[in-house]
Amino acid sequence: VFASNQSHALIEVLSRANDTTYEVPLIISNHQSLYPVAEQWKTPFVYLPRHGKQQEDDKRAIEEKEFALIEEAKADVIVLARYMQILSPHFCQLYQNRIINIHHSLLPSFRGARAHAQAYDRGVKLIGGTAHYVTEHLDDGPIIAQAAVPCDHRDSIADLRRKGQDAECLALSTALSAHIDHRVFVTEHRRRTVVFHGSSGSIKEEKRKR
């Protein structure tokens, strides 16, 4: 799991690991603020200080460390739990359809860091989260799961943020479960997904119905 400062998505992944078939072998972060979360869940934590102003050589060096850690952990899937750094095209291609990101709105609306403020300004009636595979095109990968909650004029930006985080957690856990159960199929042009319902054992039956 890659994370930055916000804890809700990371905690969602860690807490559900106890109830499902996956394990979290490692947390990688560009901040040290989430170390107490890792300590609480007894999960190894590695701090690698990525930031937008780094030189390209420094970014590549950190990325190579990330690759080594991922391979050492034998990770099958990488979750960006509100990780606020952009991965290189090489990173995205190397782990194609194995990186799941959670975005803090219903894509393609309200991209960027101020999604909740944008939603407030527009008076939206639904706020949510989108879990998608990561590609070299920012926030434009195939969508796996979305979740939404109603809101209205009484909600402040803080209310929208709280409701949005709840929706993010739901979308992320739904997408991660579907990926782990091998229920997600990416179409030929990598623009959309087909997500089968039920357990992995029921996929063949659903295919026959189609």
Helix (H) or strand (E) holding 47: strand 45-47
Q: Give the closest residue to 48 by CA, choosing from 35, 137, 37, 190.
A: 35
Q: Which of 58, 76, 139, 155 is catalytic?
A: 139
Phi, psi of 192 (to 5 degrees): -150, 170
Q: Give the closest residue to 179 by CA, choosing from 132, 126, 119, 122.
A: 132
Whether 139 sits among the annotated catalytic residues: the reply is yes
For residue 146 the two structure tokens come to 């979305």
Contact 154, 114 (CB under 8 A): no
Please tell me the distance from the alpha carbon of residue 25 to that of residue 59, in angstroms, as a whole number.
Answer: 23
Task: State the catalytic residues.
Answer: 139
